[in-house]
Amino acid sequence: MQFTNSSRSWSVLVASALCLAVLAPMAVAQEGVAASDEPDGEGLFRQHCFSCHRNSGRSEGPLLGALQQMSQDQVLTSMTAGKMQEQAAMLSSSEMFAVANYLSSGAAKEKDAMPATARCESTGVSTSISTDVLQLRGWSPDAENTRYQPNSTITKDNVGDLELAWVFALPDVADARSQPVVTEDTVFVAAISGPVYALDRQTGCIKWDYDTGATLRTSMALGKAGGQTALFVGDIAATVFAINAHTGEPLWEQSVKLFESSATTGTPAPYSDENGDRLFVPLSGFDVVLATNPKFECCKGHGAVLALDAATGEILWTTHMTKDAVKTYISSEGVQQWGPSGIPVWTTPTVDAERGQIYVGTGENTSSPATHLSDSIVALDMRTGAIRWSFQGTRNDAWNMACGRRAGPNCPEENGPDFDFGAAAVLATSSSGRDIVVAGQKSGEVHALDPDTGEVLWQNRISDGSALGGVHWGITVSGDRVFVPMADPPFPRPGYTPRPGVYALDLETGEVEWEHKAERGCELDMAALRSSETPWPDCPFQYSFSAAPMSNETLVFSASLDGRVFAFDAESGEVLWQDHTVKEFEAVNGIDAHGGSIDNSGVQLAGDLLLVQSGYSLFGQMPGNAVLAYRVKD
């Protein structure tokens, strides 16, 4: 594997785009064209982008206010190598640069704004790092992805005394989406804009920082890399980075890209045994978004799972979720269609050491024909990648974002319903000693499977589900209870009854033990919402529970899209504590901090800490850049 210097500020594609963007104005100047003829970034945005990014609670993408929180790097990456590359295809490189410059004006200075006091050495705080005690190793405290924290000192007796201990502001971002890793003295956190930070657990000051130069998409995980302890994280261009956890120095980086549209979204899962240190990497992609362009040949990309040597980054095996696409038919626009495709692996792999296998959840096909591994839980042999069994939650699900109210030419004939397994499967053990694989789906259904065969043990469909509803990012298991957030958005639609909230199910039977129904708690004014100039309205449209929860012996923590974080009594469902995070905060690193919607990784428990990632701008939600650390008083 070729090592590449991770300190680069662009991926190859973005570097090319930026180079052209700089050279194009120079060439124009040489021809004697006045500077006033340079592209108008605001005008281009209004012409090409505003209809999908206007300040409206029903917007499909990040709102204008959220885009203005992002750096030039992030905006350009999206247009050249990410979700917006097809939408930006009609723009020249100089026009892309102008749009990015308009959106990020003022945000690019954030990285340089950190005062010296943000760094531990300037305040007398120790910069030493211990990784002997791992309180949060990755997506879950354990490899089984239960998101159960046995080492939490926050209980239902003292949870009412939680107070904010410190706030860290992520620079140049509108989303706080990368879940931290926590040891006994350090909190490791990453920003979408590229930096990775090691923070003092008590104060939040910076021990070290390292800029990957990439748009980071996954949460982080900590594991062994040969004789070193490493942090692993993936980016939008399907590159995995390994960073020395003690020093912040890069160890290796490895591209796992299979197609131009490939991406990493789920957290890499490290695992070590007598056979060495391995890293299981899920692979997703952007074809689902690129298909909105009628001229795009939909679709060729597909998902996969890869195993890497954690010491070197060498790829050991790759398991594809479908065969390579072949030509199928010509669309109504006269464009060649391809299939099968899709089946992205959004979820963090779940490791079953006893059986020597891992479990992943998959998404829908993005073009016809629909195939047997879409919307499935798949068990893989961890040594070879061979598929041992699979369970399909929804059949004949082929869908992409061309399938809107008026289906575009790239919408497959199946046309949905887009019922991914976006939440990681959980390997849990009941009090009777039975091992059960539990998985929530966007269909609103929770499935319990036999880990040896994939046989269904029970199923419970709690809600109607939708493309943005049902179980979105995760579940947690504590004892004999499964805690399930429902993300159902309040869209008025015939035959659809949203049931957003948090539900407790019996692990052995699937029966509902208690439920907390989500409530908006304010009077919605859609006219005012559409005309609002702020990305943080007083009464937001979204208020359901989408983020992944976390639990301990007596509590379950979950958070909502309107920015509230809740602590529930695990036995009764009673709300014992809550806080509202949509506000400005004074951050320890001197950067403006603001909370927003809480989505994706949501909340984390680690010892005496409750960590909350506040801010998520996708789907018209509220942006933010705050990492909030709560601790019980005294």
User: How many Cβ atoms sit within 10 Å of the Cβ of residue 125?
Assistant: 16
Mean pLDDT of all residues in 527-555: 92
163, 251 contact by CB (below 8 A) = no
Report the distance separating Cα 437 and Cα 448, nearest Å. Answer: 6
Instruction: Tell whether the model's pLDDT for residue 616 goes beyond 50.
Output: yes
Instruction: Tell whether the model's pLDDT for residue 503 goes beyond 50.
Output: yes
Chain mean pLDDT for the chain:
88
pLDDT score recorded for residue 90: 60
Give how far the C-alpha of residue 420 lies from the chain's centroid of Cα atoms, to the nearest Å.
14
Instruction: Tell whether the model's pLDDT for residue 154 goes beyond 90.
Output: yes
pLDDT band of residue 371 (cuts 50, 70, 90) is very high
* Token representation of residue 368: 């016809």
pLDDT digits (tens, 9 = 90+) for 35-56: 445 676 567 666 666 656 655 4
Mean pLDDT of all residues in 458-462: 98
574, 581 contact by CB (below 8 A) = no
pLDDT band of residue 407 (cuts 50, 70, 90) is confident
301, 290 contact by CB (below 8 A) = no
Instruction: Tell whether the model's pLDDT for residue 235 goes beyond 50.
Output: yes
Nearest alpha-carbon partner for 370 in 403, 339, 329, 402: 339
Report the distance separating Cα 159 and Cα 314, nearest Å. Answer: 45
Contacts of 168 (CB under 8 A, 6+ apart): 189, 197, 199, 204, 587, 588, 589, 593, 626, 627, 629
Give me the architecture of the 12-111 domain, per CATH. Orthogonal Bundle (1.10)
489, 465 contact by CB (below 8 A) = no
Name residue, tokens 């000693």: 433
Contacts of 101 (CB under 8 A, 6+ apart): 41, 72
Instruction: Tell whether the model's pLDDT for residue 28 goes beyond 90.
Output: no
Report the distance separating Cα 89 and Cα 376, nearest Å. Answer: 33
pLDDT band of residue 256 (cuts 50, 70, 90) is very high
* Token representation of residue 489: 């958005």
Contacts of 274 (CB under 8 A, 6+ apart): none
pLDDT band of residue 580 (cuts 50, 70, 90) is very high
Can you tell me whether residue 298 is helix, strand or coil?
coil
Give me the architecture of the 138-632 domain, per CATH. 8 Propeller (2.140)
Instruction: Tell whether the model's pLDDT for residue 507 goes beyond 80.
Output: yes
607, 182 contact by CB (below 8 A) = yes
Report the distance separating Cα 72 and Cα 530, nearest Å. Answer: 26
Instruction: Tell whether the model's pLDDT for residue 15 goes beyond 90.
Output: no
Nearest alpha-carbon partner for 449 in 422, 421, 423, 425: 425
Instruction: Tell whether the model's pLDDT for residue 470 goes beyond 60.
Output: yes
Mean pLDDT of all residues in 161-177: 94
484, 469 contact by CB (below 8 A) = no
Mean pLDDT of all residues in 364-372: 97
pLDDT digits (tens, 9 = 90+) for 516-537: 999 999 999 988 888 777 899 9
Mean pLDDT of all residues in 462-480: 95
State the helix-helix crossing angle for 12-30 and 93-104, rounded to 10 degrees: 100
Mean pLDDT of all residues in 14-23: 32
Instruction: Tell whether the model's pLDDT for residue 217 goes beyond 50.
Output: yes
Mean pLDDT check: name the lowest of 365-374, 518-527, 541-550. Answer: 518-527
Can you tell me whether residue 380 is helix, strand or coil?
strand
pLDDT score recorded for residue 68: 62
pLDDT digits (tens, 9 = 90+) for 258-282: 999 999 999 999 999 998 999 999 9
Report the distance separating Cα 619 and Cα 548, nearest Å. Answer: 17
Mean pLDDT of all residues in 329-344: 97
380, 387 contact by CB (below 8 A) = yes
pLDDT score recorded for residue 530: 82
C-alpha distances (whole Å) from 69 to each of 66, 94, 174 are 5, 21, 5
pLDDT score recorded for residue 99: 64
620, 57 contact by CB (below 8 A) = yes
pLDDT band of residue 12 (cuts 50, 70, 90) is very low
391, 454 contact by CB (below 8 A) = yes
Mean pLDDT of all residues in 558-563: 97
Instruction: Tell whether the model's pLDDT for residue 417 goes beyond 60.
Output: yes
Q: What is the reported pTM?
A: 0.86
**Sequence ranges of the domains in the chain:** 12-111, 138-632
Nearest alpha-carbon partner for 1 in 194, 195, 265, 241: 241
Mean pLDDT check: name the lowest of 26-30, 91-95, 197-201, 374-378. Answer: 26-30
pLDDT digits (tens, 9 = 90+) for 271-324: 999 989 999 999 999 999 899 889 999 999 999 999 999 999 999 999 999 999
Instruction: Tell whether the model's pLDDT for residue 175 goes beyond 50.
Output: yes
Torsion sign over Cα 259, 261, 266, 268 = positive
Phi, psi of 544 (to 5 degrees): -80, 180
- Range picked from 5-19, 33-47, 580-594 for highest mean pLDDT: 580-594
C-alpha distances (whole Å) from 523 to each of 16, 134, 526, 541 are 48, 44, 10, 10
Report the distance separating Cα 574 and Cα 555, nearest Å. Answer: 10
pLDDT score recorded for residue 102: 62
Instruction: Tell whether the model's pLDDT for residue 360 goes beyond 90.
Output: yes
pLDDT score recorded for residue 78: 59
Instruction: Tell whether the model's pLDDT for residue 185 goes beyond 70.
Output: yes
DSSP string over 118-177: GBHHHHT-------SSEEE-SSSSSTT---B-SSB---TTTGGGEEEEEEEEPTT-S---
pLDDT above 90 covers what percent of the chain?
75
